[in-house]
Amino acid sequence: MSDGGGGMIPSALPGRDRSVPVLHFAFILSGLLFLAGCDNNPHPAPYHKTRPDGSPWAVRYMGLPADPKSFDPQFVYTTIDQQILEPVYDKLLEYDPRKTDPITLRAAMLEEMPKKEVQPDGTVSYLCRLKRDIHYHDDPCFERTGGKGREVVVADVHYALQRIADPKVESPFFAPLEQRIIGLHETREMGMKTGKFDYATPVSGFEQIDSHTFRLHLKGPYPQILYWLGMHTMSPVAREAVEYYDGQMHDGKLRPSFRFYAVGHGPFRMREYIPRRAIRYERFEGYHTDTFPTEGFPPERAEVCKKYAGKPLPLFDELFIMIVPELIPGFVLGRQGFLDSITATKDAFPSVVTPDRQLQPKYKARGMTLERIGFPSTFYYCFNMNDPVVGKNVKLRKALASACDMRAYVEIFYSGVAPVSNQLVPRGIYGYNPDYVDPNAFDLEKAKRLLAEAGYPGGRDAKTGEQLVITVNDAVEGTEMRQRAEYEQRMFERLGIKIKIAESTFARVIERLETGDFQLSSGSGWAADYPDPENFFMLFYSKNMPREGSNHCRYSRPEFDRAFEQMSTMDNGPERLALIEKMNAMLAEDCPVIWQFDKVTFLAAQPWAAWTHNSRMIEYSNNKYHQVDPVLREKLRAEWNRQPIWPLFALGGLLIGGLGYAVRWNRRNHV
End-to-end alpha carbon distance in the chain: 24
Question: How far is it, in rounded angstroms, from Cα 642 to Cα 337?
Answer: 12
Share above pLDDT 70 across residues of the chain, in percent, rounded to a whole number:
89
pLDDT at 506: 83
Average pLDDT rounded to a whole number, residues 334-349: 88
> Predicted confidence band at 6 (pLDDT cuts at 50, 70, 90)?
very low
pLDDT at 667: 60
> Which residues lie closer than 8 Å to 467 by C-beta, 6 or more apart?
459, 460, 461, 496, 497, 498
Please give the DSSP secondary-structure letter assigned to residue 420. Answer: B
pLDDT in tens, 543-593: 999 977 889 999 999 999 999 999 998 888 999 999 999 999 999 999 999
Q: What is the pTM of this model?
A: 0.77
Average pLDDT rounded to a whole number, residues 234-241: 98
Question: How far is it, in rounded angstroms, from Cα 285 to Cα 280?
Answer: 16
pLDDT at 93: 96
pLDDT of 621 > 70? The answer is no
pLDDT at 501: 93
Q: Which residue has the higher pLDDT, 477 or 60?
A: 60
pLDDT of 600 > 90? The answer is no
pLDDT of 18 > 90? The answer is no
SS3 629: coil
Average pLDDT rounded to a whole number, residues 171-194: 93
pLDDT at 645: 53
pLDDT at 653: 60
Question: How far is it, in rounded angstroms, from Cα 262 to Cα 90?
Answer: 12
pLDDT of 15 > 70? The answer is no
Average pLDDT rounded to a whole number, residues 86-114: 90
Question: How far is it, in rounded angstroms, from Cα 76 to Cα 258?
Answer: 12
pLDDT at 633: 96
Q: Highest mean pLDDT range out of 230-239, 420-429, 592-601?
A: 230-239
The chain-wide mean pLDDT, for the chain, equals 88
pLDDT at 652: 58
Are 442 and 403 in contact by the 8 Å Cβ rule? The answer is yes
pLDDT in tens, 410-427: 888 888 888 899 999 998
pLDDT at 618: 66
Exposure on the CB side of residue 469, measured as CA atoms within 13 A: 5
Q: Which residue has the higher pLDDT, 79 or 250?
A: 250
Q: Which residue has the higher pLDDT, 494 or 524?
A: 494
Question: How far is it, in rounded angstroms, from Cα 435 to Cα 430?
Answer: 14
CA of residue 396 relative to chain centroid, distance = 33
pLDDT at 2: 30
Q: Highest mean pLDDT range out of 425-429, 541-545, 654-658?
A: 541-545
> Predicted confidence band at 376 (pLDDT cuts at 50, 70, 90)?
confident
Exposure on the CB side of residue 402, measured as CA atoms within 13 A: 19
Are 265 and 131 in contact by the 8 Å Cβ rule? The answer is no
pLDDT at 27: 46
Question: How far is it, in rounded angstroms, from Cα 262 to Cα 251?
Answer: 21
pLDDT in tens, 384-402: 999 999 999 999 999 999 9
Are 601 and 375 in contact by the 8 Å Cβ rule? The answer is yes
pLDDT of 648 > 60? The answer is no
Least confident among 278-292, 523-537, 544-558? 523-537
Average pLDDT rounded to a whole number, residues 356-384: 92
Query: Which run of H or of E encompasses 268?
Result: strand 268-274
